[in-house]
Structure formats: C-alpha cells, structure tokens
Amino acid sequence: MLHIPYEKIDISWVDRPLRQGQEERFLFSLPWVSTEVDVKEEDKGWIRDATVRLHTDPLNENVQKFMREFKDYPVSYVKPRTLEDFEGKDLQEGSHLDVDPSTPASLLSTFGCPVDPSILEDVIPAWMWDQEKILSKARIEGTDLYDPLSLVTYLVCYRLEWESMGWVGQDGFVGFLETLVNTREEKEFFQVIGWISRQAWQVMTEFCASMEPALTRFSKAKKEISRYISEEKGHYKFMEQVFRDLDLDKDTFPVGGGTRWLLDSYKRAAAISPLAFSAMVSLFEAAYYEEEESIAAVIKLSSRPHAGRGYELHRKVNQEYRHCDVSGRFASYLAPQTRSHALLTVGLFELTLNLLERMEQKLAKSFGIH
Ligand SMILES: [Fe+2]
C-alpha cells in the first residue's frame, strides 16, 4: 500500500551551528501536530531527498520510506488502488442507497434516523467542505468508484485540518474549561465536567448496540467488528468512576441533541452503509494519542485532581488497542464503493462534526465564556 503525504505537511530544517556530535534536525508540522526530528548522519541523504520530493513526487521510494516513519500519526492517506488490486478478494459491496445527500437538510430528511428537534437550529445550511476535492483523493482511476481506505484515511486528516481552523481545534473547548476552573466557583466547573461525562457515559453505554446492525449488514468484517465491540464493552464504568469521584449523579445531566444524533446516525450508518460506518467510527476515537488526556489534564487543576483518572484509564485502553486505526481496519474489508456511499460519508462527517462543535460552543456560552 502506498501512502500520499497530506498536502499540509510542512518540513523546515532547523538552521543552527552544529556542535560536535550534534545531529541535524527538522521540524515536521501540520496544523494539528508538529514534532522535531533528529537526523543521524547516515540517514541524512535519503531524508533530505524525501523532504524535497514530499509533495512533488510522493510515490518516490524515499518519500514512502519517510512516511512509514510517521505511520502512527494521521499525516498521510492511502493512494487509491486500482480495480485489479481488489480482484479475487472477498469484500463487502455497498448496497443501493435511498438517501439524498445533496444538502444537509435533504440528508437529514432522507437518512432514516430519528432527529431530535433541538438540533435543527444547528444544522449547517449548506455544505462547506470541498466534496469534489475529497472524493478526488479516493477515486479509482478510470472509474466513478472510490477506494474505501483512501476515503477514510483522507477524511481523518481533512477533519483534523478543519478542526484546527475552528473553535475546537484552537483549544476553544479546553480553553473554556481552563477559564472555568481558574476563575469561577469550583462547583460550576464540576457541573460542566458532569455534563461532559454524561455525554461520554451515554456514548459508551449505547455504542456497542449501535454497531450491531453492522454484524449482519457488513458481514465480511463481522469478526473485526465483534472484536471491536468486545473491546468497547463496559467502558461506561470509566465515567461512573468520574461521577463517584466528584460526588455527582449522572441522571441529573441531560443528553445533548448532538450526542443523540451521533449515536442514532451511527446506528443508521451501521444498517445502510458499511463505508459510512467504517469512516464514522473515527468520530468516537481520538485520531492519535497525545501525552495527556485533555479533560483529565484540566481536572488536575481542580481540588480533586484524581477525578480525571476515569478519562486517563479510558485513553490508555484506546491507545493499547490502537483504536485510532479501527476505521482503516474496517475499511480494509470493503470493495470499491459507489459515489452515493462516498457522498453520504462525507456529508455525515461534515454535518455531525458541526453539530458536535455547536453543542460544545453552546455549553461554553451558557457560562458566558466563548
Ligand atoms: Fe475505543
């Protein structure tokens, strides 16, 4: 499988006089992640070559070798395979779809899943994402079919780029929590943590059941899906730990309309589109793992620093099983997909991510912080 570097990767060599024994270094950066890398003398040649060719000659051997070094991070996408590459494999086709994803409103009204009236005011009026560009990254040459692996891996990067330009990606939500814990009565902060934990509890409680339709509708990946379901079972207990640590009652917090939509739309995707189902699982998981779980880190600023351990333990499990890769694992069981499934998938991503962002923004606004 070949990997194409995401178009926003930027490489800059650190210009500094080298002391004896010191290695050259470059900065590898994207709008959502950046890291400094030391280069050993013996690797200098091919790495310099790869960084120069990164975007102009992505299939070059050195570039491919370079990208493999970053395989644990969402920084590239799978190059669309050819139709021949899929031949002879026992893969899942997408069935006929009766959904009209031409606008957010038409997607919502034809998708076939319950819609909580409270989300209607937050539904985006038109698609803003460049759908044709996204699809072009996954199109199988000479066809109007799409490589599922290319689409899901590209969408993860595209989502991160989109988020980095908005409120959530610019630490709007974490910033709101920090302001709260630093400037308000602690009771208010814990109420918000209670609200967030209720959303997480609800997701963790219903998540496994929402995937069940895929066990029959996406039968080629049944084993993989069953394994993931068993890895996700019982995770709500992590959140019950948080409620106990904060002396809060989970039943006093409402389930937000965005959370309801996330779960209901995922269940519907599991029943009608194995491609959308494979892609959307990444909305429930981190795209990569940072040093610290962000909610746990903010809780540490409070008088009950230990109360974040439910979040930390959950993150640990996800990291151990590399749940950030589940989307790609599911997609590897898919045959080339039609344009209608690809468009539904992109639409669901944009719609859902906007709803979740609006929900979090409204929470911050209700505390006068935004
Ligand atoms: Fe997980």
Residue 365 scores a pLDDT above 90? no
Q: How far is the CA of 202 from the centre of ligand 1 (A)?
A: 14
Least confident of 40-44, 80-84, 340-344: 40-44
Task: Tell whether 224 and 290 lie within a shared domain.
Answer: yes
Neighbours of ion ligand 1 (CB under 5 A): 318, 323
Q: How far is the CA of 209 from the centre of ligand 1 (A)?
A: 14
Within a domain: 165: yes
Nearest to 284 by CA among 167, 159, 170: 159
Task: Tell whether 72 and 119 lie within a shared domain.
Answer: no
Task: Tell whether 190 and 269 lie within a shared domain.
Answer: yes
Within a domain: 291: yes
Q: Hey, how many other C-beta atoms are within 10 angstroms of the C-beta on 222? A: 14
Q: How far is the CA of 19 from the centre of ligand 1 (A)?
A: 45
Q: How far is the CA of 207 from the centre of ligand 1 (A)?
A: 10
Q: How far is the CA of 318 from the centre of ligand 1 (A)?
A: 5
Within a domain: 28: yes
Using pLDDT thresholds of 50, 70 and 90, give the confidence band for residue 355. very high
Q: Which amino acid is at 232?
A: E
What does the pLDDT read at residue 353? 96
- Residue that finishes a domain, picked among 78, 113, 142: 78
Query: What letter does residue 18 receive in the DSSP assignment?
Result: P
* Phi and psi angles of residue 35, each rounded to the nearest 5 degrees, phi first: -150, 145
Residue with tokens 């009204």: 109
State the Cα–Cα distance between residues 154 and 157, nearest whole angstrom.
5
Residue 21 scores a pLDDT above 80? no
In which domain, by residue range, is 343 found? 104-366
Within a domain: 272: yes
Q: How far is the CA of 159 from the centre of ligand 1 (A)?
A: 18
Q: How far is the CA of 1 from the centre of ligand 1 (A)?
A: 25
CA-CA-CA-CA dihedral for 213, 215, 221, 224, to nearest 10:
110
Q: How far is the CA of 317 from the centre of ligand 1 (A)?
A: 7
Q: How far is the CA of 62 from the centre of ligand 1 (A)?
A: 34
Show the beta-strand stretches assigned E in 249-288. Answer: none
Task: Tell whether 299 and 226 lie within a shared domain.
Answer: yes
Q: How far is the CA of 103 from the centre of ligand 1 (A)?
A: 31
Domain with residue 168: its CATH number is 1.20.910.10
Whole-prediction pTM: 0.94
Within a domain: 283: yes
Q: What is the mean pLDDT of residues 67-76?
A: 94
Within a domain: 173: yes
Q: How far is the CA of 346 from the centre of ligand 1 (A)?
A: 22
What does the pLDDT read at residue 284? 96
Using pLDDT thresholds of 50, 70 and 90, give the confidence band for residue 366. confident
- pLDDT by residue (tens digit) across 241-278? 999 999 999 999 999 999 999 999 999 999 999 999 99
324 with 318: CB under 8 angstroms? Answer: yes
How many domains does the chain divide into? 2
Task: Tell whether 213 and 358 lie within a shared domain.
Answer: yes
State the Cα–Cα distance between residues 91 and 370, nearest whole angstrom.
47
Q: For Cα atoms 51, 54, 56, give the angle at the middle one, nearest 5 degrees.
A: 130
Task: Tell whether 306 and 206 lie within a shared domain.
Answer: yes
What does the pLDDT read at residue 369? 75
Task: Tell whether 127 and 22 lie within a shared domain.
Answer: no
Q: What is the mean pLDDT of residues 144-164?
A: 96
Within a domain: 286: yes
Residue 168 scores a pLDDT above 80? no
Residue 89 scores a pLDDT above 90? yes
Q: For Cα atoms 353, 358, 364, give the angle at the middle one, nearest 5 degrees.
A: 130
Task: Tell whether 58 and 168 lie within a shared domain.
Answer: no
Q: How far is the CA of 263 from the centre of ligand 1 (A)?
A: 14
State the Cα–Cα distance between residues 314 and 200, nearest whole angstrom.
11
Within a domain: 300: yes
Residue 272 CB partners (closer than 8 Å, separation 6+): 95, 97, 99, 112, 217
